[in-house]
Structures are given as C-alpha cells and as structure tokens.
C-alpha cells in the first residue's frame, strides 16, 4: 500500500527584522546584521484529518518583545479549512514560548510532546536561569494543567506518529527538540522546526544563540540535512527565505499561509 501523503502548510504570524549577527549566532559579528527571523506554526492535512504543529505566540507577547505582528496564527488555520476549536491533535516540537502560545484555543485537542522536553521544563534544568530564557512560566503551567486533564501525550525518540508522518528527536536547541518528516505529493519534506532556525546554521555550521547542548545542536544540523536529503526538502523553523520561496496556499495569502507541499522557487 502506498504511503499516504499530507498537505503541509506554514502560517507566518510574526517577524523580527534586522537582527544583529551577535544576537543570532554564537560568535556572530556585532557589526553585521542578518535579515532576522520569521515566526511560524504549521499544520498537516490528510482528508478530514488535520494535525496542528505548534501553536505560535499571542499578539501581546509578540508586541511586548518588539516583534512585528503579521496575523493571528490560529485564525490563519481557517484559511485552509481548519477550525481550531475542532482540532483533535496538536504536536509540540518543543516548548519555547513562541511555539506553545494559544494552547487554550484548541479546547478539544490532545497535545503530543517529547518526554525529554517535559522533563526539562518541569525539573532540575529550570533551576538554571540560562535554560529558562526561552520558556515562560504561564506556558509551562498550562502544559502541566493539560497533563492533569489527560490531554498531554508523550513520545520518546524517533518513530511514526501516523502513516506518512514521522518524528525525530534532534535535541540541541532544547532538550526535547524534535523535527518531523512529512510525506507530501512532492516527496518527504523535513520540517526542522527549531532544530534549525536558519539555513545559515546548516550552510556554515553557525550555532544559534539559544541552545541546550551545543555539540548536540551542531550534530543536529547535520542530522536534519541528512534526513531532508536535499535543501529543497528542508524547512527551517524561522528562516525568512521560507516565506520568500514557497507559494501561497491560495491567492491573497502570500507571505502568510504557505504551501510547503509545493516545490520552492529558487531563492
């Protein structure tokens, strides 16, 4: 039987333009500027089954951090026919604040996270201020609440979430950072999430400034590249180039709702 294919969408909800290289990469030049970061959440759809991947960030948090708010990511789901209030499944690639906002807006969903990520954010790791930087207490408390409501599921390592949708524990950026291989009509696409923020991390092995384990993060860049097989099938978690090269899911959604199941144009 042929492996099912999924539609894969990215929803670009925020932007941080013109970041200093030194604010982006370890050892980055403080006199140079990179384009910055785009903020995404994602979803995969196969027939009537829709799985949301991460839940973005709320508008107040985006603006409090002096980022540009582009659109409500949960509202953008509706542009491809996904009703957040009816979503049953959400995969959390990790629990940094820009990936686990809006949990409350998926009232019927069960959330899936790596064991190691939940252990990290509720255990000894969080006694170190450095590791707390990218987590917000209210988000962690909400995840614990979901656990006690029997709406949080755990996975460990690598495996198959559903036919045509595999997960891979990469680590590095966070203890339980994972990426996903999504079988699309054009072939398997590797959604790195924040295992890779920007293509530069793979192209030049530049370490991102936020990390849990430096060696694991650097090895993770190579793992992600291997799993993708080709740059055209690799989707970093924050690269504005993704917004540049992928077509809109439909006219009028350019730069907001991207169809990652279509081939990217040359950058």
Look at residue 133 in the predicted model and tell me its pLDDT. Answer: 93
**pLDDT score at 1:** 76
Query: What pLDDT score does 267 carry?
Result: 57
Helix/strand/coil for 119: helix
Confidence at residue 170, expressed as pLDDT on a 0 to 100 scale: 99
Residues 6+ apart with CB under 8 A from 123: none
pLDDT of residue 211: 97
DSSP β-ladder status, 159-162 and 165-169:
antiparallel
Domain architecture of the chain: domains with CATH:
7-259 (3.60.15.10)
pTM, 2 dp: 0.97
What pLDDT was estimated at residue 266?
78
C-alpha distances (whole Å) from 214 to each of 47, 56, 174 are 40, 25, 10
Bridge partners of 112?
91, 153
Q: Which residues of the chain have pLDDT under 70?
A: 267
Per-residue pLDDT tens digits for 193-251: 999 999 999 999 999 999 999 999 999 999 999 999 999 999 999 999 999 999 999 99
Q: pLDDT digits over 240-267, tens only?
A: 999 999 999 999 999 999 999 999 997 5
Q: Which phi and psi angles does 73 have, rounded to 5°? A: -65, -30
> Which sign, positive or negative, has the C-alpha torsion 104, 105, 109, 112?
negative
């Amino acid at each position: 039987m042929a492996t099912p294919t999924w539609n894969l969408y990215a929803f670009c909800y925020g932007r941080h333009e013109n970041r200093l290289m030194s604010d982006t990469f370890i050892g980055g030049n403080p006199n140079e500027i990179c384009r910055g970061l785009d903020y995404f959440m994602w979803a995969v759809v196969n027939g009537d089954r829709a799985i949301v991947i991460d839940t973005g960030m709320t508008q107040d948090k985006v603006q409090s951090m002096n980022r540009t708010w582009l659109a409500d990511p949960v509202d953008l789901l509706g542009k491809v026919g996904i009703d957040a209030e009816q979503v049953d499944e959400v995969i959390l690639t990790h629990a940094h604040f820009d990936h686990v906002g809006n949990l409350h807006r998926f009232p019927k969903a069960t959330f899936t996270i790596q064991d190691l990520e939940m252990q990290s954010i509720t255990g000894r790791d969080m006694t170190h201020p450095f590791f707390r930087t990218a987590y917000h207490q209210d988000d962690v408390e909400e995840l614990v609440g979901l656990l006690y409501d029997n709406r949080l599921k755990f996975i460990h390592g690598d495996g198959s979430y559903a036919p045509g949708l595999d997960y891979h524990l990469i680590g590095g950026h966070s203890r339980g950072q994972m990426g996903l291989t999504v079988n699309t009509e054009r072939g398997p696409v590797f959604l790195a999430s924040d295992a890779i923020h920007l293509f530069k991390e793979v192209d030049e092995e530049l370490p991102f400034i936020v990390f849990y384990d430096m060696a694991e993060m650097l090895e993770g860049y190579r793992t992600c590249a291997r799993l993708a097989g080709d740059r055209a099938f690799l989707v970093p978690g924050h690269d504005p180039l993704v917004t540049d090269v992928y077509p809109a899911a439909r006219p009028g959604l350019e730069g907001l709702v991207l169809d990652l199941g279509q081939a990217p144009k040359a950058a």
